[in-house]
């Protein structure tokens, strides 16, 4: 495990920040945070070698937020990022960590966004500015941004800024900042040009690095799945359904995620429980004991809680969230392959975390093989096979004379044949868990274009809190049959659907959002514009809805009326479902209505006492 010494309490962060960390479910600082935060608090310049996935954003955001003078509405922190995506992401992180700091304002500023909006926001004022170098320079030249009050400056992903040819601009901006300011430079790699910048513009900087680990245990078979097209939870479910496992430890980053994920797995029929640092020692011990004695099969843990965990029957470790450093990775996968047994480790890697994957491979001197996710068909076939086996097992092992008589009686009494009765019984048996695999649509991103209409408004400022459901209730103009982009996720391609409930049925947008969110398991924030007409309505949903989901939604009811969803103008609500909704990618995953076939254990076995 990483040698992270500190806990957040010992870092002396202010109460509002501590509350935000609690809200986020963070358990302990990542190694880069433990190293960087105390230095930044002491005003020391730092050069941090860290990439995405190490927790570097909080490493600079937390201490710099604490140093702000909130009463003074002037830019006191400037963060330069190579891309607008990162600018937005970092602004959102600042906003989240500052959620309990009253009156706090942050503005992301990047090329491609309308100048008008930026000027308006800058005029309104902010404490923190996050921006791409080119656009920041524009504002400095126009004198629409002043750096006079800047106390700290962060160069995030400096090597990327170098690759993109921004280094001169970065130096120019550095020269415009007050002499006494503190600088934190973060870079995944440290080419000479970056070191030179550090030499020229930083004051006796201290290096902050995450340690690279030793070697891994050779009996562990390691693979990774590149997160794409399928939600992580659905990918996990597919893996759990197809892998032969005895016990599994799933690693996540936050305490809240341990409980969320354990509950979701439990709802899917697994004997799963959380293990995190918030739980009492006695409860943690009890959970580990239950994993040992097979009362539990899956434990969803944070690094801290799983430290030293030694359970021989753990055959699999799944890194649901990538670890912060290679040491954590080595520790995590070492929870399997105990007592000389074979083990399997699976790592989920989002595209942005690829660099972290390479770093792990380098430090462990082992290649991690890329794995393909089992297909939905493979999972469905397996479920069917298990189902058949279950039925055949009963036929061969049980005395069915009495029930045989009941069936014969039904056949003659209701003039139905035994095939239909058997089918109805199979239907009953599967209950809410379908044999086919129903998964949640993964929103498909639009092609990247320089200007994404709607984005500016959506992100007008990271300070504007999301207003999810409410906006559906507001009367907005009907925009023909073209779906409107989501305010919050303007990159997601939306499709306008027609549903057969409207004002005359007493339906409200809230009812519709509720029904779709619950039944299709589409988060309400992905449900777009809803327009009510007399006897029907339209609703905008992310493109890529799987066929099964589309079919399922047809039968969902609002105010007792079936939605009978269709694509407007397709003229054939049924046929549309065969192809239209999944024009690009049939998304992935999943749903609350799960698998009929994996291990079923009584829910009562889950220890709940930690809650
Ligand atoms: P970053 O490397 O800054 O891109 O952060 C990667 C992810 O780790 C983000 O989703 C953060 O919210 C999360 N994260 C950062 N610090 C912590 C922490 N101490 N505990 C749990 N999650 C964290």
State the Cα–Cα distance between residues 317 and 332, nearest whole angstrom: 7
Q: Report yes or no: 461 and 431 within 8 Å, Cβ to Cβ.
A: no
Tell whether 436 is covered by a domain: no
Pocket test for ligand 1, best of 58, 97, 154 (most atoms within 8 A of CB): 58
| pLDDT, mean of residues 187-198 | 94
Instruction: Look at phi and psi of residue 192 and say left if phi exceeds 0, alpha if psi is from -120 to 50, else beta.
Output: alpha
158 and 13 housed in the same domain: yes
Q: How confident is the model at residue 558 (pLDDT cuts 50, 70, 90)?
A: confident
Beta bridge partners of 301: 251, 275
277 and 187 in a single domain? The answer is: no
- Dihedral over alpha carbons 323, 327, 332, 337 (to 10 degrees): 140
Domain boundary, last residue among 374, 390, 418:
374
Q: List the CATH number of the domain containing 351.
A: 3.40.50.300
Mutate to test the pocket of ligand 1, among 8, 57, 208 (most ligand atoms within 8 A of CB): 57
Residue 209 has pLDDT above 70, yes or no: yes
- CA-to-CA distance for 314 and 243, rounded, in angstroms? 13
Domain identity same for 61 and 172: yes
Taking only Cα atoms into account, the Rg of the chain, rounded to an integer number of angstroms, comes to 27
Question: Would you say residue 1 has pLDDT above 50?
Answer: no
- Model confidence at 44, pLDDT cuts 50, 70, 90, reads very high
Using 50, 70 and 90 to split pLDDT, how confident is the model at 214?
Answer: low
> Are 535 and 574 in the same domain?
yes
From the list 442, 432, 427, 436, the residue with the least C-alpha distance to 269 is: 432
Residue 598 CB less than 6 A away from ligand 1: no
Do 116 and 86 share a domain, yes or no?
yes
Mean pLDDT of the residues in the chain: 83
Instruction: Inform me whether the pLDDT recorded for 33 exceeds 90.
Output: yes
* Residue 599 is assigned to a structural domain of this protein: no
The band of 259, judged by pLDDT with boundaries at 50, 70 and 90, is: very high
Mean pLDDT calculated for residue range 27-39? 94
Asked which of 374, 395, 410 is the last residue of a domain, the reply is 374
Q: Is 129 helix (H, G, I), strand (E, B) or coil?
A: strand
Of all residues in the chain, what percent carry a pLDDT higher than 90? 54
Domain interval for residue 57: 8-209
- Tell me the mean pLDDT in the region 22-49: 95
Q: What is the pLDDT of residue 589?
A: 34
What separation in angstroms does the CA of 43 have from each of 80, 174, 407?
A: 19, 17, 81
Rounded to an integer, the average pLDDT of 149-161 is 96
* CB of 53 sitting under 6 A from ligand 1: yes
Q: Which two tokens stand for residue 287?
A: 């959970």
Whether 598 and 269 have beta carbons less than 8 Å apart is answered as: yes
447 lies in some domain = no
User: Would you state the pLDDT for residue 587?
Assistant: 36
- Asked if the model's pLDDT at residue 497 lies above 70, the reply is yes
Among 26, 55, 156, 348, name the best residue to mutate to test ligand 1's pocket (greatest count of ligand atoms within 8 A of Cβ): 55
pLDDT of residue 122: 96
Nearest CA owner, ligand 1 atom 1: 55
If you write DSSP's letter for every residue of 52-73 in order, what string do you get?
Answer: TTS-HHHHHHHHHHHT--TTS-
254 ligand 1 Cβ < 6 A: yes
Q: Cα(534)–Cα(437) distance, rounded to whole angstroms?
A: 35
Calculate how far, in angstroms, residue 432's C-alpha sits from the geometric centre of ligand 1: 36
The protein residue whose alpha carbon is closest to atom 15 in ligand 1 is: 55
CATH number, domain containing residue 546: 3.30.70.330
Q: Which two tokens stand for residue 66?
A: 């604490």
User: Where is pLDDT greater, at 229 or 431?
Assistant: 229
Mean pLDDT across 345-360: 92
Q: Is 26 a pocket residue for ligand 1 (Cβ < 6 Å)?
A: yes
Query: What gap in Å lies between CA 48 and CA 210, rounded to an integer?
Result: 9
* 351 falls within a domain: yes
Residue 252 Cβ < 6 Å to ligand 1: no
53 touches 324 (CB < 8 A)? yes
Lowest mean pLDDT among 255-259, 460-464, 512-516: 460-464
Least confident of 11-20, 141-150, 395-404, 472-481: 472-481
Whether residue 54 is found in the same domain as residue 133: yes
Give me ligand 1 centre to Cα 58, in Å: 7
CA distance 190 to 181: 22
**Tokens standing for residue 554:** 């047809």
Split at pLDDT 50, 70, 90, the class of 605 is very low
31 close to ligand 1 (CB < 6 Angstrom): no
In the predicted model, what is the mean pLDDT of residues 76-103? 95
Tens of pLDDT, residues 178-191? 999 999 999 988 99
pLDDT of residue 604: 33
Same domain, 138 and 12: yes
State whether 414 and 349 are in the same domain: no
Instruction: Give the position, in ligand 1's atom list, of the atom nearest the Cα of 50.
Output: 2
Most confidently modeled range among 410-414, 531-535, 585-589: 410-414
371-375, 483-487, 555-559, range with greatest mean pLDDT = 371-375
- As a residue count, the chain comes to 611
The pLDDT, as a whole number, for residue 100 is 97
pLDDT at 449: 31
Same domain? For 370 and 391 the reply is no
Provide the angle, in degrees to the nearest 10, between the axes of the packed helices 31-41 and 56-66: 30
For residue 24, tell me if it sits in a domain.
yes
Q: Is the CB of 81 under 6 A from ligand 1?
A: no
Is 352 in the same domain as 421? no
Residue 16 in contact with ligand 1 by CB distance below 6 A:
no
Instruction: Kindly report, residue by residue over 53-71, the tens digit of the pLDDT.
Output: 899 999 999 999 999 999 9
Question: For residue 464, what pLDDT band results from cuts at 50, 70 and 90?
Answer: very low
In this structure, is residue 583 part of a structural domain?
A: no
Does residue 603 or residue 29 have the better pLDDT?
A: 29
- In whole angstroms, what is the distance from residue 438 CA to residue 563 CA? 19
The one-character DSSP state at 604 is: G
pLDDT for 217: 61
Q: What percent of the chain has pLDDT over 70?
A: 83
Cα separation, 611 vs 608, whole angstroms: 6
Q: Name the residue with the closest Cα to ligand 1, atom 8.
A: 55
Number of independent structural domains in the chain: 4
In a domain, 441, yes or no: no
**348 CA to middle of ligand 1, Å?**
15
- Ranges of beta strands (E only) in 392-536 are 494-499, 530-532
Report yes or no on 225 lying in a domain.
Answer: yes
**Alpha carbon of 281 to ligand 1 centroid (Å):** 25
Q: Which of 358, 374, 390 is the last residue of a domain?
A: 374
Three-state DSSP class for residue 473 = helix
Q: Is the pLDDT of residue 294 over 70?
A: yes
Same domain? For 245 and 310 the reply is yes
User: Strand pairing partners for 107?
Assistant: 129
Q: 318 or 463: which carries more pLDDT confidence?
A: 318
Query: Do 343 and 423 share a domain, yes or no?
Result: no
């Amino acid at each position: 495990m990483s040698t992270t010494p500190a806990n957040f309490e010992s870092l002396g962060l202010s109460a509002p920040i501590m509350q935000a960390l609690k809200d986020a479910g963070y358990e302990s600082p990542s190694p880069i945070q433990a190293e960087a935060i105390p230095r930044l608090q002491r005003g020391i310049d730092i050069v941090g070698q860290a990439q995405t996935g190490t927790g570097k954003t909080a490493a600079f955001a937390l201490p710099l937020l604490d140093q702000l003078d909130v009463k003074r509405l002037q830019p006191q922190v400037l963060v330069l990022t190579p891309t607008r995506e990162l600018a937005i992401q970092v602004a959102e992180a600042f906003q989240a960590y500052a959620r309990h700091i009253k009156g706090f304002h942050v503005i992301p500023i990047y090329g491609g966004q309308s100048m008008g909006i930026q000027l308006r926001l800058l005029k309104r004022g902010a404490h923190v500015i996050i921006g791409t170098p080119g656009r920041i320079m524009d504002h400095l030249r126009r004198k629409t941004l002043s750096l006079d009050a800047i106390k700290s400056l962060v160069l995030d992903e400096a090597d990327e800024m170098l690759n993109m040819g921004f280094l001169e601009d970065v130096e120019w901006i550095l020269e415009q900042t007050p002499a006494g300011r503190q600088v934190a430079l973060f870079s995944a790699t440290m080419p000479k040009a970056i070191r030179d910048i550090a030499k020229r513009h930083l004051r006796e900087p201290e290096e902050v690095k995450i340690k690279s680990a030793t070697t891994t245990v050779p009996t562990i078979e390691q693979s990774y799945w590149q997160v794409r097209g399928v939600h992580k939870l659905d990918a996990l479910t597919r893996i759990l359904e197809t892998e032969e496992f005895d016990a599994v430890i799933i690693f996540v980053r936050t305490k809240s995620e341990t409980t969320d994920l354990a509950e979701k797995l439990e709802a899917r029929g697994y004997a799963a429980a959380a293990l995190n640092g918030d739980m009492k020692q006695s409860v943690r011990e009890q959970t580990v004991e239950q994993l040992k004695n097979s009362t539990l099969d899956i434990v969803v843990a944070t690094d801290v809680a799983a430290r030293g965990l030694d359970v021989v029957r753990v055959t699999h470790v799944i890194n649901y969230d990538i670890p912060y450093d290679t040491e954590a990775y080595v520790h995590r996968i070492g929870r399997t392959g105990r007592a000389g047994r074979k083990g399997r480790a699976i790592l989920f890697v989002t595209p942005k975390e690829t660099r972290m994957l390479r770093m792990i491979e380098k430090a462990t001197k082992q290649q991690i093989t890329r794995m393909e996710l089992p297909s939905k068909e493979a999972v469905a076939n397996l479920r069917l096979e298990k189902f058949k086996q279950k039925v055949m097992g009963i036929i061969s092992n049980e005395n069915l004379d009495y029930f045989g008589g009941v069936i014969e009686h039904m056949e003659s009494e209701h003039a139905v044949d035994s095939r239909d009765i058997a089918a109805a019984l199979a239907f009953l048996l599967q209950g809410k868990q379908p044999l086919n695999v129903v998964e949640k649509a993964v929103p498909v991103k639009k092609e990247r274009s320089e200007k994404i209409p709607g984005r500016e408004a959506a992100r007008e400022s990271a300070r504007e809190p999301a207003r999810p459901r409410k906006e559906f209730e507001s009367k907005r103009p009907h925009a023909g049959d073209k779906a409107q982009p989501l305010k919050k996720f303007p990159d997601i391609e939306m499709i306008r659907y027609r549903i057969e409930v409207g004002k005359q049925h007493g339906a409200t947008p809230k009812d519709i959002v509720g029904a779709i969110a619950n039944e299709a398991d589409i988060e309400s924030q992905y449900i777009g514009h809803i327009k009510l007409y007399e006897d029907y309505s339209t609703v905008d949903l992310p493109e890529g809805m799987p066929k099964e989901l589309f079919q399922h939604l047809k039968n969902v009811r609002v105010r007792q009326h079936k939605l009978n969803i269709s694509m407007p103008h397709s003229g054939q609500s049924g046929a549309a479902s065969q192809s239209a909704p999944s024009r690009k990618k049939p998304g992935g995953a999943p749903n609350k209505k799960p698998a009929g076939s994996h291990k079923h254990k009584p829910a009562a076995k889950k220890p709940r006492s930690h809650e």
